[in-house]
A and B are shown apart, each in its own frame.
Chain A
Amino acid sequence: MLAYAFRRVLSAIPIALIAVTVCFFILRLAPGGPFDGERALPPTVLANLRAHYNLDQPLVVQYFLYIWRLLHGDLGPSMVIDGFNVSQLISIGFPFTLTMALCAFVIATAIGMLAGMVAAVYQNKWPDYVLVLAVMIGVLIPNFLMAALLQLWFGVYLKWVPAGGWVSGSVWHLILPVTVLAWPHAGRISRLMRGSMIEVLGTNYVRTARSKGLGERLVLARHAIKPALLPVVSYLGPGLSYLLTGSLAVEQIFGLPGIGKYFVTAALNRDYGVVLGTTILYMFIILALNLIVDLVYAWLDPKVRYR
C-alpha cells in the first residue's frame, strides 16, 4: 500500500510540472498584454512597467524565473490590480469559493446517494421515474440557465430568497447558488449509485442473504451498500473539481465575492500572474483529488494496488 502510494505521488509530479509549463507558454503566446489599456501608455512608462515585471526578458528566462518563484511558494504580483500579489488575491477569494463548493458537495453527495439507493430499490416504480426526471433536469440544463430560471421564479416572483448579491454571513444568499451548483452533482451521483446498486442487488450474495431470511433493510445495510459505493467514490474527486470550476461561473452570475470574479476579469485583462496562479491552484487541487481517490480506491479494492 505504501509503495503504491509512493509510486502514485511520484507519477503526479511530472504531470503537474508539464501542465504548469503548458499553461505558462499558451498564456504568453496569446496576443495582447496586461498593459494594453483603452489609452496607449507612453513608451517609456510601458518599458519601465515591463521591466518591473520582467516582461522584457526572453520568454525562457521568464519561465525559469516563474518556476523558481513557484518552488518557493510565491505566485508573483498581480500586473493589473496595484499593490496586490496573487497569493493575497487568492486568499481573499478562495475561502469563499471553497466553502460554497464544499457545502454543495456535502449536500449533493448525501442527497444523491440516498436518492440513487431509493431509485434502485423501487426500480421502475414511481419514485424511480420522478428521480430520473429530476436527474435529467439537473444534468441537462446548463448552470447559467438554471440560475436565471431559479432567480426569476424563487427570487423575483415568489420572493422566498434573495435573487443575487451577497451580505456577509447571510445563509439566505447562498441558497440559490448552492442549489444551482449541487443539483447536477447530486444527479450524477444518484445515477451512478442507482446503476451500481441495481447491479449489486442482482448478485448471488445478495440472493443468498435474502434466502437465509435476512430482512430487506439488513440486506441493504450489511451487504449491498458498501460494494455499491465503489463507482460513487471514484466519481467524488472529479465531482469536487467540477464543483470548484463550476462555482467560477455561478459566482459570476450571482455576484458573489469568490475567486471567480478575479479570474474572469484577470483573463480579460491578460493579468498573467492572476490567471496562471488560479489555474495552477485549480490544477493542483484536481491532481490532489485524483490522487486521494486513487489511494482510497486502492484501499477499498486490493486488485488495483498490485497492477
Chain B
Amino acid sequence: MAGITGKDQVLTTYANKLATLDAPKGRSLTQNAMRRLVRNKMAVISIFVLVTIVILAIIGPNFVPWGYSQVDWSNIRKPPNFEAGHYFGTDQNGRDMLARVLQGTQMSLIVAFVATFVSVTIGVVYGAVAGYFGGRVDAVMMRIVDIMYALPYILFVIILVVMFGRNPVLLFVGIGAIEWLTMARIVRGQTLSIKEKEFVEAARAGGAKPFTIIMRHIVPNLTGPVVIYATLTIPEIIIAESFLSYLGLGVQEPQTSLGTLISAGAPVAEVMPWMLLAPAAVLVTLLFCLTYIGDGLRDALDPKDR
C-alpha cells in the first residue's frame, strides 16, 4: 500500500530539506514564549533596567571613591557634592550615600534571591508531595497551610528575629521559610492535574518510586507556574526584608540594606531629603521592574491566562 497517498515522497523531501537547513523549522514552546516576552515592551525595558541595577550593585562599589563604612570627617550631613566625590551626599556620620545605596541594593538583592530560593524549594516539594499522594496526606498537609495562613505574619517575623538573633543569613532563610504557603497551594493544584497524565502512569507502571516520580516527572512540568510565581515572590520578599530592617530587626550596621537606609532617612527627610530619596528611588525601581518582568513572564508562558 505504500506510496498510494504520496506521503512517503512528501516526507522524504521534507526530511531532505531539513537536513540542508532549507525548510521552515517548528518553533518550540520555549521559543514561542521568548518571542512573546520580547514583544512585551515594558518587560524588556524592565529586564534591561534590572540587569543594569544588578551589575551596578555588584561591581559599582569598586568604582566609587568612598567605601560604604568609610567616614569623611570634612563632609558630614552634606547634600550631593561632586567635587568631593559624594554624588548622593553623605549621612549623619559622614559616610558616602552612593556607596551605601550600592551596598544596600546588593544586600537586598542577595537576601531576595536566597529567601526566594528557600521559599520556592519548600513550596514546590511540599505542594508536590501533598498533591501527588492526595487523600488523607493531602488533607492534613493543606490543613497545616490553612493554620499557618491564620497566624499573623508579624508574629512569625518577630519570633524568627528572636530565635535567629541578628544573623542576617539565617534570618532571611527564615523569611523564605514563611513565604512558601501560596507557592505550595499553586503547586499542589498543578500536581493534582499532572498526576493524572499518561506519562506519570507510565512511570508508575515502570516501577518508579513515588519520590522519583515527583522529582523526575512532576516537578519539571511545574516550571511555568513556579517561575512566574517566584518572580512575583522576589518583590514581596524585598518588601518584607526592608520592613524588618525598617523596624530595626533586619540588617545591622555598618552593613546596610535598602530598608535600613530608608528607615535612617525617613526621620531626617525634612532636613536631609537625599538620605530618603536615593534608597527610595532604587527600591521603587527594583519593585516595578520585578513586577513587570513577572507579569511579562506570566503572559509569555501562559497565554491562556491573558
A-to-B contact residues, CB < 8 Å:
15-16, 18-19, 22-23, 26-27, 29-32, 136, 140-142, 144-145, 147-149, 151-152, 156, 245, 248-249, 252, 263-264, 267-268, 270, 275, 279, 282-283, 286-287, 290
Interface size class of B (residues with CB under 8 A): 20 to 34
Check: B251 CB closer than 8 A to any chain A CB: no
CB-CB under 8 A from A140, the residues of chain B are 235, 284, 287-288, 291
In the bound complex, how far is the Cα of B273 from the Cα of A290, in angstroms? Answer: 42
Q: Is the CB of A31 within 8 A of B155?
A: no
What are 7 contact pairs spanning A and B, CB under 8 A? A15-B150, A140-B284, A142-B239, A145-B262, A147-B266, A148-B276, A156-B270
Contacts A27-B159, A156-B269 known; A144 to B262 CB distance under 8 Å?
yes
Q: 7 tightest A-B contacts by CB? A: A148-B266, A30-B162, A267-B158, A142-B239, A282-B152, A140-B287, A152-B269
Q: Is the CB of B243 within 8 A of A144?
A: yes
CB of A73 to closest CB in B, whole Å: 20
Contacts A30-B162, A142-B239, A282-B152 known; A22 to B147 CB distance under 8 Å?
yes
Partner of A142 from the list B159, B243, B288 (CB cut-off 8 Å) is: B243
In the bound complex, how far is the Cα of B153 from the Cα of A248, in angstroms? Answer: 11
Contacts A140-B284, A144-B266 known; A19 to B243 CB distance under 8 Å?
no
Check: B143 CB closer than 8 A to any chain A CB: yes
Which residue in chain A gives the minimum CB-CB distance to B143? Answer: A15
What 1/0 flags go to B143-162 for Cβ under 8 Å of A? 10011011111110011001
B-to-A contact residues, CB < 8 Å:
143, 146-147, 149-155, 158-159, 162-163, 235, 239, 242-243, 246-247, 262-263, 265-266, 269-270, 273, 276, 280, 283-284, 287-288, 291
CB-CB under 8 A from B284, the residues of chain A are 140-141, 145
Q: Is the CB of A279 within 8 A of B151?
A: yes
Q: Is the CB of B163 within 8 A of A31?
A: yes
CB-CB under 8 A from B291, the residues of chain A are 136, 140
CB of A28 to closest CB in B, whole Å: 10
Contacts A31-B162, A144-B246, A264-B247 known; A245 to B153 CB distance under 8 Å?
yes
In the bound complex, how far is the Cα of B152 from the Cα of A273, in angstroms? Answer: 16
CB of A297 to closest CB in B, whole Å: 16
Contacts A140-B288, A144-B266, A156-B270 known; A283 to B151 CB distance under 8 Å?
yes
Q: Is the CB of A152 within 8 A of B276?
A: yes
Q: Is the CB of B150 within 8 A of A249?
A: no
Q: Is the CB of A145 within 8 A of B283?
A: yes
Which residue in chain A gives the minimum CB-CB distance to B239? Answer: A142
Which residue in chain B gives the minimum CB-CB distance to A140? Answer: B287
CB-CB under 8 A from B269, the residues of chain A are 148, 151-152, 156
Q: Is the CB of A144 within 8 A of B263?
A: yes
CB-CB under 8 A from A149, the residues of chain B are 276, 280
CB-CB under 8 A from B159, the residues of chain A are 26-27, 30
Q: Is the CB of A275 within 8 A of B143?
A: no
CB-CB under 8 A from B163, the residues of chain A are 29-31
In the bound complex, how far is the Cα of B284 from the Cα of A126, in angstroms? Answer: 23
Partner of B150 from the list A30, A32, A287 (CB cut-off 8 Å) is: A287
CB-CB under 8 A from A142, the residues of chain B are 239, 242-243, 283
Which residue in chain A gives the minimum CB-CB distance to B156? Answer: A26
Which residue in chain A gives the minimum CB-CB distance to B258? Answer: A145
Which residue in chain A gives the minimum CB-CB distance to B144? Answer: A18
Known contacts A140-B287, A144-B266, A270-B162; 18 further A-B pairs (Cβ under 8 A): A15-B147, A18-B147, A26-B159, A27-B159, A29-B163, A30-B162, A140-B291, A144-B243, A145-B242, A145-B280, A148-B265, A148-B269, A151-B266, A151-B269, A152-B269, A263-B154, A267-B158, A286-B149
